[in-house]
């Protein structure tokens, strides 16, 4: 158990270092609201500390509350993001002191806790996985805020492997059952549970995410101006938003450019497209003569091992992600070129399903059969219904701690500030099936 505690302590240190890096800026930038879609960065910073206090110190550790007077301020369900600048939030220096004080006590709880305790919050260190993943998710939100700020020089960049030509462009997934979700992954959220059998007909799915070159072809073929390719709701969004390309793209001198963390650069044609909403992804798929995959189709193509008849933790197997398998953990502030990770292929041959971009699916965010809320309704249950579309896979900004073949993300179909892209699918013909 000491090894488990050491790993948890290392994960806690790593995610906190990431949070502090993203908030190492002038106070004005941290306090400013860069978009009504996002909180001020300093709200996110103090919120992750308050979440730790609530769950590790109070719920799991039984410790007297440190700052109960700020609970309401940092309750994400009481205050929409657009309203948070008007709250009496902690300033940058006070927020850093607060989260540091909480973290010191969290490590004391970790040292004392019995990881074999039958309580599901304590058993196996679930509560620590809860707060680690929560903070990583807010770190990705902070990156989206930094992108919206368009301030140069705030986000590190890095090297990625080169891409390669990949053929054929689709992989075939035969008809048959698979097991969706999980009962065994220790830090899996309630919405990933329970594991259940799903029967699917045969289908084809793109080997790679849709790239910028292909998306530019859609734009230049008049895709944004032709209502044939858009659902009724999507066409209303297109007209109201006046969108003409992915968010942050502009057309200058006959070429496409993008603003990436305050830097203008030519759109790289060999990268997966990102910053597109569900309506844009759906319109492209219709234009291409395909459709978006259902969530079940996506998960089967990503994680099912038909020979072993079991789900893999990652597309390639159960081994942890490394730099040769997936673009995760902000190795660089962008998707890797298409074809960069052949070693990360799934059993069916689909590539780059983990990392790069969150991939829109055709499914609404709904519970798995037999779902039970844990440890609180507001993580998943209150979002179920026909308001949110499911995204899968994890982006380049997602940390490996929050990425697995069963992980489910969700957002409104209009959202584009997130690091979102997609791949297409199509049903197999009766002859192929």
196 is annotated as contributing to ligand binding: no
**CB neighbourhood size of 409 (10 A):** 24
330 is annotated as contributing to ligand binding: no
Name residue, tokens 């910028």: 212
83 is annotated as contributing to ligand binding: yes
415 is annotated as contributing to ligand binding: yes
221 is annotated as contributing to ligand binding: no
- Contact between 432 and 172 under an 8 Å Cβ cutoff? The reply is yes
- Residue 41 burial (CB < 10 Å; 0-12/13-18/19+)? buried
134 is annotated as contributing to ligand binding: yes
Distance CA 353, CA 385 (A): 25
Upstream peptide bond of 168 is cis (omega within 30 degrees of 0): yes
228 is annotated as contributing to ligand binding: no
81 is annotated as contributing to ligand binding: yes
Nearest to 182 by CA among 281, 311, 325, 39: 311
Nearest to 52 by CA among 112, 124, 105, 3: 105
- Contact between 291 and 283 under an 8 Å Cβ cutoff? The reply is no
Distance CA 53, CA 64 (A): 10
Q: Taking CA 63 as the corner, what is the angle to CA 59 and CA 67, rounded to the nearest 5 degrees? A: 95
Question: Which residues contribute to the annotated binding site for gamma-L-glutamyl-L-cysteine?
Answer: 81-84, 411, 415
Question: Which residues contribute to the annotated binding site for Fe cation?
Answer: 47, 134, 138
Question: Which residues contribute to the annotated binding site?
Answer: 47, 81-84, 134, 138, 411, 415
């Amino acid at each position: 158990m000491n090894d488990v505690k050491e790993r948890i302590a290392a994960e806690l240190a790593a995610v906190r270092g990431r949070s502090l890096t993203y908030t190492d800026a002038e106070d004005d930038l941290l306090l400013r609201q860069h978009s009504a879609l996002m909180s001020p960065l300093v709200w996110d910073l103090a919120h992750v500390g308050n979440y730790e206090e609530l769950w590790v110190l109070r719920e799991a550790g039984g410790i007297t509350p440190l700052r109960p007077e700020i609970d309401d301020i940092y309750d994400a369900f009481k205050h929409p993001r657009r309203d948070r600048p008007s709250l009496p939030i902690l300033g940058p220096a006070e927020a850093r002191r607060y989260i540091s004080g909480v973290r010191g006590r969290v490590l004391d709880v970790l040292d004392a806790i019995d990881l074999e305790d039958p309580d599901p919050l304590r058993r196996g260190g679930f509560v620590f996985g809860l707060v680690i993943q929560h903070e990583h998710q807010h770190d990705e939100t902070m990156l989206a805020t930094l992108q919206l700020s368009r301030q140069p020089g705030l986000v590190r960049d890095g090297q990625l492997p080169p891409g390669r030509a990949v053929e054929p462009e689709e992989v075939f997934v035969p008809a048959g059952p698979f097991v969706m979700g999980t009962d065994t992954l220790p830090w899996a959220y309630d919405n990933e549970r329970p594991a259940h059998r799903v029967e699917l007909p045969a289908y084809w799915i793109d080997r790679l995410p849709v790239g910028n070159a292909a998306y530019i072809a859609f734009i230049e073929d008049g895709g944004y101006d032709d209502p044939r390719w858009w659902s009724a709701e999507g066409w209303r969004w297109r007209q109201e938003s006046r969108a003409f390309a992915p968010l942050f793209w502009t057309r200058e001198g006959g070429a496409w450019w993008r603003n990436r963390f305050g830097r203008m650069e030519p759109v790289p044609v060999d990268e997966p497209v990102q910053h597109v909403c569900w309506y844009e992804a759906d319109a492209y798929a219709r234009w291409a003569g395909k459709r978006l995959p259902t969530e079940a189709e996506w998960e089967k193509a990503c994680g099912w091992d038909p020979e072993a008849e079991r789900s893999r933790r990652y597309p390639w197997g159960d081994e942890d992600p490394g730099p040769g398998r997936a673009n995760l953990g902000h190795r660089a502030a962008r998707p890797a070129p298409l074809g960069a990770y052949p070693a990360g292929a799934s059993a069916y041959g689909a590539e780059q399903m983990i990392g790069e971009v969150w991939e829109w699916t055709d499914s609404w965010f709904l519970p798995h059969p037999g779902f039970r809320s844990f440890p609180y309704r507001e993580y998943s249950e209150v979002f179920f219904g026909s308001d949110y579309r499911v995204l899968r896979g994890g982006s380049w900004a997602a940390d490996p701690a929050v990425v697995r073949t069963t992980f489910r993300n969700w957002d409104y179909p209009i959202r584009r500030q997130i690091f979102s892209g997609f791949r297409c699918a199509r049903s197999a013909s009766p002859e192929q099936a």
